[in-house]
Amino acid sequence: MTLLVVDAGNSRVKWGLYEKGGWRIQGASDNSDMDDLASDWARLDPAAIIGSCVSGNESRLNRLHPELPFTWIKPRAFQCGVHNGYDNAERLGPDRWAALIGARALLPDGGLVVGLGTAMTVDVMSPDGKFEGGIIVPGLSLMKQALQDATRLSMGEGHFEFPSGNTGDAVHSGALLALSGAIEKIARSMGNPQCILSGGDAKTLFPHIHASVRIVDNLVLEGLVLIAKDLSL
């Protein structure tokens, strides 16, 4: 079965065409560029579509492939070996839920599932597959943009350097250290378990995190495939 898998995040839509146990093609578009996404999807021939959406763009995305209904996932109390420990299971972001399911088999002893997109999420999974909760903080670009919007700082893209000799590098380095420091502190408090990084800024943060970490690309998409199998799509 050929499956179109969609991760509609706050800034971008990540997607992939999955068939015969692997990815035929993967891609991504900014939320502001639906025409580009429509052009990419016009060439695809899925038998079913599954996705997670936190951007509120479900109706717009549905119109890009009207031939098939989209299955937009909602977190459950239990699915694919993961127990949802959120106070209200359905209030958990569907992308976080899919990422936890994608990470379950990769963390047999439990650990941390870190999403690095518009926001950074650090979620705790126990050895028996229970999602214990987590944190949400502004991601790298959002943290830098918020500082720029709230001050008169003049900054460029910035590079990591400590101590930093200019404002752009100081802001970029500070944001990197704040995010990596949060991950490290949580990891230390848990006895330094395995930590999975995913998302657009994973490769940027990876060198700055002194913990047992590895990058898994498109973890949300991988989790969505498992959910599709569980739903018999």
Joined tokens for residue 177: 């250290």
Query: Which domains, and CATH codes, for the chain?
Result: 1-106+219-233 (3.30.420.40), 109-215 (3.30.420.40)
Task: Kindly write down the DSSP assignment for every residue of 163-220, as one continuous string.
Answer: S-SSHHHHHHHHHHHHHHHHHHHHHHHTTS-EEEEESTTHHHHGGG--SSEEE-TTHH
87 — phi, psi (to 5°)? -55, -40
What's the confidence (pLDDT) of residue 155?
74
Per-residue confidence in pLDDT tens, the chain, 233 aa: 899 999 999 999 999 999 999 999 999 999 988 888 999 999 999 999 999 999 899 999 999 988 899 999 999 999 999 999 999 999 999 999 999 999 999 999 999 999 999 999 999 999 999 999 999 999 999 999 998 889 887 777 888 999 999 988 999 999 999 999 999 999 999 999 999 999 999 999 999 999 999 999 999 999 999 999 999 99
What's the confidence (pLDDT) of residue 156?
75
Block residue for tokens 């590079």: 159
What's the confidence (pLDDT) of residue 152?
81
Residue 17 CB neighbours (<10 A)? 19
Per DSSP, the three-state class of 94 is: helix
221: enclosing H helix or E strand: helix 219-230
CA within 13 Å, CB half, 30: 2
Burial 111-122 (b: 16+ CB within 10 A, else e): bbbbbbbbbbbb
Report the catalytic residues.
95
What's the confidence (pLDDT) of residue 33?
85
What's the confidence (pLDDT) of residue 67?
87
Contact call for residues 56 and 47 (beta carbons, < 8 A): no
Contact call for residues 158 and 171 (beta carbons, < 8 A): yes
CA within 13 Å, CB half, 128: 6
